[in-house]
Structure 1
């Protein structure tokens, strides 16, 4: 195994093993260490320009059509407001929720229902103790700080924080006002803790259940790897948080959540959701006017293949960085209901691939693909919406295929090495 340092791998291309011994040289790569400063700084400069243009239209032109920043935080704040008033179940009633959202925003807003389980409401309970204009930035930038800290823990490097802050997925979450940075941080932290603090890892994983469609494969991975303490802690954490939520807000909130789950799916099925922003095969096929039954069947096949990939990666020994990346990637191929702001999970996926490359080097073309993943969260807004070619779920599929192929190659190489050593 090459003894080059992590920074060598960040600043140079991986050399081909077919080269004769003693002839390897450092090869310049377009994703060099210097350019890892330039590209994220350029992205941050672009975000600043967009922010200044927004302020100009808001303050100077007083544009009445201007959308509210962090608009998806309005259901969070409004649900918290109702819970603080002792009416948590009314958060699931859009007729009651909407006036509170408009009061918080100070203007009319679109359709923004509360679709989360009461366990997430337990997490957000104190949010409305502050005005929306204060609580939303605290929540969003707090989750960004957590995301940056988790990514730095997985892949420590002088440029990691800058890359995580400039990550288009981060900008998308901050603009939309969503919880993608929070769920990505929790799954990343759980994977960091899994090998040494399995109980704490399980508790982190249990919090991911605030967005149930993203945590389906985590128990499967823990079961396949026989991580019994982490699995037990995850189940216990989910059960305890559910009991606490029911005690705090009443059992009617759980019934209302189950009822509203169908509402979320109907948004995608009916096309009321912005399908170009939904990076799933179901949405892609609906965007191409496929019948719902066909789109559902293909999405079910996607979920089965994702589960099979997780079992393959986690049942037998393999490099942990690749295992973790497979779980993160596969989790985005299960549910038909996913939005582009959930692709912040790509940031955690990239970090685990880089973690693996720290020891084993980058595969040919791997850094180029990581750059694609870094940009992918805004593909729906910038490309799919204009080209009308819904390719975004194919990015996750191709990534999962590459990861599984890399695990297979490394297992084969290890088996050959062990066989040669036993001779």
Structure 2
């Protein structure tokens, strides 16, 4: 009797009557010998066997050195660049909260403080809920430059640890050289922290649901990233994780209210219309967003048309998410798909936020190294890897790469889940 796991040209065959040495997955050269003949270019694209582990590692090591060299040269090559621009807003808001003026973090006082810190420019106000101030409050005890260095280093280390866990001990060099991670670090943004929380929840969801739920609850410091978490936990019937997420969220809200007062919440609510107008109007630049909404605006479409396309794409992605998760493929797979779909659902998904896609990317790589690569998987992942590097110049020339890259990632994760071995 034989057992087979069909993987679209990467079938793993086992024969009960074979010798012990022959009871191995048919991969590599033996697999290639069984495939029908194809043209050289077709094979290079479909299988991308030239993207070996050693070559990918070597390329990303060189890329990492180049990125480090670029950052080190900024004081001479780009002295006007505001490194840590976004962290300045976080640090300033926390500093005001430390002084007992948390409500001022959402108004002109914070804007003026950031302008004084970085120079006289038009800076957006602080758009995060008061619970986020709990994260940055300790950093306000340090001078700005030291606080930014500690923040970037700590969140980068947490990000690397989360990706390494998903890779099951594999090299984290590709993750460290991921262009989105460097964009995030240069801004002093928080997506490395979000990625660490998402990766931790992915690894803990099956064995430690309460821990996973608590990590998801912490993600409500940036609500749009946790947008789909309740749906995922309900569809997969992970009630303990859901309860832990709700309790964590309520606890953080209670602590923030006790420390900062109700005025902080009022300030946050009053800032929301400006936050919406800031993003809808494309103040940061639509080329920096990876959403369907931004794609339509880049292509010259109206705001109304952009919202229709955005809502339609999000509805389809959420429907796919719900259908696939009904099979309960496992905690890591569930979080990986949730993260990929989130990228298509958030209308103002910035290029620095693309770093959270390292979670589904690492999960896919781990599965491929265990089960074998599926057709076009290597090539698509390589293209996705370089998207954060290419999307801004491409968008500036009217080519919106972001939503297509995210849609491709969703397709890869869905296909991989459908081909997980059934036991």
Residue in structure 2 matched with residue 146 of structure 1 by the alignment: 158
Residues 27-52 of structure 1, C-alpha deviations (whole Å, 9 max, x = no match): 99222122133211221222133224
1:39 aligns to 2:59 (yes or no)? yes
Q: Deviation at 1:366?
A: 0.5
Go from structure 1 to structure 2 and tell me whether the alpha carbon gap of 1:193 and 1:183 turns closer, same or farther (over 3 Å shift).
same
Go from structure 1 to structure 2 and tell me whether the alpha carbon gap of 1:47 and 1:405 turns closer, same or farther (over 3 Å shift).
closer
Distance (whole Å) between structure 2 residues aligned to residue 47 and residue 244 of structure 1: 40
* Matched-pair contact (CA < 8 Å) for 1:268–1:283: no
CA RMSD, Structure 1 to Structure 2 (Å): 2.6
Residues 243-262 of structure 1, C-alpha deviations (whole Å, 9 max, x = no match): 11111111122222222222
Q: Deviation at 1:14?
A: 9.6
Where does 1:3-402 land on structure 2 (aligned, <5 Å)? 15=31, 19=35, 29-57=49-77, 66-93=80-107, 95-105=108-118, 107-158=119-170, 160-318=171-329, 321-385=332-396, 387-402=397-412
TM-score (norm 1): 0.86
Unaligned segments of structure 2, at least 5 residues: 6-11, 15-23, 37-46
Residue in structure 2 matched with residue 421 of structure 1 by the alignment: none
Distance (whole Å) between structure 2 residues aligned to residue 356 and residue 124 of structure 1: 36
Distance (whole Å) between structure 2 residues aligned to residue 202 and residue 128 of structure 1: 28
Residues 37-92 of structure 1, C-alpha deviations (whole Å, 9 max, x = no match): 3211221222133224312247xxxx5xx122111110011001101100001000
Q: Deviation at 1:152?
A: 0.5
Distance (whole Å) between structure 2 residues aligned to residue 181 and residue 215 of structure 1: 15
Q: Secondary structure at the match of 1:364?
A: coil
* Matched-pair contact (CA < 8 Å) for 1:303–1:333: yes
Q: Deviation at 1:356?
A: 2.1
Q: Secondary structure at the match of 1:209?
A: helix
Distance (whole Å) between structure 2 residues aligned to residue 222 and residue 189 of structure 1: 15
* Matched-pair contact (CA < 8 Å) for 2:364–2:416: no
Distance (whole Å) between structure 2 residues aligned to residue 16 and residue 233 of structure 1: 48
Q: Deviation at 1:12?
A: 5.8
* Matched-pair contact (CA < 8 Å) for 2:324–2:414: yes
Residues 167-195 of structure 1, C-alpha deviations (whole Å, 9 max, x = no match): 11111111111001011110111111000
Distance (whole Å) between structure 2 residues aligned to residue 319 and residue 194 of structure 1: 8
Residue in structure 1 matched with residue 39 of structure 2 by the alignment: none
Go from structure 1 to structure 2 and tell me whether the alpha carbon gap of 1:296 and 1:375 turns closer, same or farther (over 3 Å shift).
same
* Matched-pair contact (CA < 8 Å) for 1:118–1:257: yes
Greater Cα shift, 173-182 or 392-401? 392-401
* Matched-pair contact (CA < 8 Å) for 1:120–1:210: yes
Q: Deviation at 1:200?
A: 0.5
Q: Deviation at 1:311?
A: 0.9
Q: Deviation at 1:145?
A: 0.2
Q: Deviation at 1:3?
A: 9.6
Go from structure 1 to structure 2 and tell me whether the alpha carbon gap of 1:17 and 1:80 turns closer, same or farther (over 3 Å shift).
farther
Distance (whole Å) between structure 1 residues aligned to residue 257 and residue 318 of structure 2: 31
Q: Deviation at 1:357?
A: 2.1
Distance (whole Å) between structure 1 residues aligned to residue 277 and residue 208 of structure 2: 40
* Matched-pair contact (CA < 8 Å) for 1:322–1:356: no
Residue in structure 1 matched with residue 44 of structure 2 by the alignment: none
Q: Deviation at 1:319?
A: 5.6
1:404 aligns to 2:414 (yes or no)? yes
Unaligned segments of structure 1, at least 5 residues: 21-26, 419-423
* Matched-pair contact (CA < 8 Å) for 1:203–1:233: yes
TM-score (norm 2): 0.86
Distance (whole Å) between structure 1 residues aligned to residue 70 and residue 142 of structure 2: 27
Greater Cα shift, 339-348 or 297-306? 297-306
